[in-house]
Amino acid sequence: MQTKKQTFIESLANVAIGFLITIISLHIIFPFLGMENNSGKNTLITIYLTLLSILRNYFLRRYFNRRLEQNNYK
C-alpha cells in the first residue's frame, strides 16, 4: 500500500505529464475548432483543470488503497 506522500507524488507526476499534453493539445485543437488561441487563457484553463486532476487522482487513490486494506483484513 502507498503512503499518503507516495500517493501525492504519483498524482503530481501523472498530472505534470497531463499538463504538458493539455497545453500542447489546446494549441492544436482550438484553431482546428475555430476558437481563439490565447496562450494566457489556455494556461489558466490548464492550471484549473490540473488542480482538479491532482485532487481527483489523490482522493481516488486513497479511496482504493483504503478499500484494498480493508479487504486484506477480512
Residue-range domain boundaries for the chain: 4-68
Question: Could you read off the pLDDT of 45-67 as tens digits, one per residue?
Answer: 888 888 888 888 888 888 888 88
Question: Could you read off the pLDDT of 9-40 as tens digits, one per residue?
Answer: 887 888 788 888 888 888 888 888 888 888 88
pTM: 0.61
Where would I find the beta strands (DSSP E) of the chain?
A: none
Dump the DSSP string for 17-55.
HHHHHHHHHHHHHHHHTT----HHHHHHHHHHHHHHHHH
Would you call 3 helix, strand, or coil by DSSP? Answer: coil
